Structure 1
Amino acid sequence: MTFDLASAPIVFLAWERGLALPEDSLLVGADGTRINHATNDPSLTFLRLWDKAVLTGPAELLAAAESLDDDELSDHATLLRLTRDAGGRSLGTAALYYADDLELHQPDHTVHVSTGEADVAALEALCPPDDVNDVGLARLAHKFTIMSSAEPDAAPLACSAYGEYQGLLAPLGTLVAPEFRRQGMGRLATSIAAHEALAAGLIVQLSADVNNAPAHSLATSLGLSVAGLQTRVSLPSPQNPHK
Structure 2
Amino acid sequence: MDLDPGTIAIIQLAWSRGLGLDDGALADADANERIYHVTAEPRQVSFVRLFGREVFCGPEWAADYVRSKSLTELTRGSTLMRLSHDVGGRALGTELLYFADTFPTLFPAEDYAVGEDPLLVSALERLCPPDDVSEAGLSARDSVFTLVDDSAGEERVLSGAGYSLSEGILADMSVLTAPSVRCRGLGSYISAVAVEDAMAAGLIPQWRVESGNVGAARTAVSSGFIAAGLRASVALPAA
Do both proteins adopt the same fold according to a TM-score greater than 0.5, normalized to the shorter chain?
yes
Contact 2:189 2:223 in 1 (8 A): no
Q: Secondary structure at the match of 2:135?
A: helix
Give, in angstroms, the shift of residue 110 of structure 1: 4.7
Q: Matched residues in 1 for 2:61 and 2:153: separation?
A: 57
Counterpart in the other structure of 2:22: 22
Deviates more, 1:27-36 or 1:166-175: 27-36
Q: Matched residues in 2 for 1:102 and 1:125: separation?
A: 31
Matched, 1:190 2:191: yes
Counterpart in the other structure of 1:129: 130
1:228/1:95 CA distance change after superposition, 3 Å: same
Matched, 1:154 2:122: no
Contact 1:37 1:56 in 2 (8 A): yes
Give, in angstroms, the shift of residue 111 of structure 1: 3.2
**Which residue type is aligned with residue 32 of structure 2?**
G
Give, in angstroms, the shift of residue 129 of structure 1: 0.7
Q: Secondary structure at the match of 1:158?
A: strand
Counterpart in the other structure of 1:47: 48
Deviates more, 1:30-39 or 1:198-207: 30-39
Q: How many residues align?
A: 238
Give, in angstroms, the shift of residue 108 of structure 1: 4.7
Structure 1: give runs of 5+ residues left out of the alignment: 239-243
Deviates more, 1:161-170 or 1:207-216: 207-216
Give, in angstroms, the shift of residue 207 of structure 1: 1.3
Q: Secondary structure at the match of 1:8?
A: helix
Q: Matched residues in 2 for 1:153 and 1:105: separation?
A: 25
**Which residue type is aligned with residue 147 of structure 1?**
V
Q: Matched residues in 2 for 1:106 and 1:6: separation?
A: 28
1:144/1:2 CA distance change after superposition, 3 Å: farther
Aligned residue runs from structure 1 range 77-156, under 5 A: 77-149=78-150, 153-156=154-157
Structure 2: give runs of 5+ residues left out of the alignment: none
Q: Matched residues in 2 for 1:192 and 1:229: separation?
A: 25
Q: Deviations over 1:69-111 (max 9, x none)?
A: 2221111011111111111111211211111113313135253
Q: Matched residues in 1 for 2:174 and 2:109: separation?
A: 24
Give, in angstroms, the shift of residue 156 of structure 1: 1.2
Q: Deviations over 1:127-148 (max 9, x none)?
A: 1111100111133110001111
Q: Secondary structure at the match of 2:180?
A: helix
**Which residue type is aligned with residue 213 of structure 2?**
N
Q: Deviations over 1:202-243 (max 9, x none)?
A: 1111111221111121122122111111111111122xxxxx
What percent of counterpart residues are identical?
36
Counterpart in the other structure of 1:33: 33
**Which residue type is aligned with residue 105 of structure 1?**
L
**Which residue type is aligned with residue 208 of structure 1?**
V
Give, in angstroms, the shift of residue 2 of structure 1: 6.1
Contact 1:159 1:189 in 2 (8 A): yes
Q: Matched residues in 1 for 2:58 and 2:19: separation?
A: 10
**Which residue type is aligned with residue 25 of structure 1?**
A
Q: Matched residues in 2 for 1:197 and 1:142: separation?
A: 9
Q: Matched residues in 1 for 2:152 and 2:179: separation?
A: 21
**Which residue type is aligned with residue 19 of structure 1?**
L
Contact 1:112 1:150 in 2 (8 A): no
Q: Secondary structure at the match of 1:230?
A: strand
Counterpart in the other structure of 2:232: 231
Contact 1:2 1:100 in 2 (8 A): no
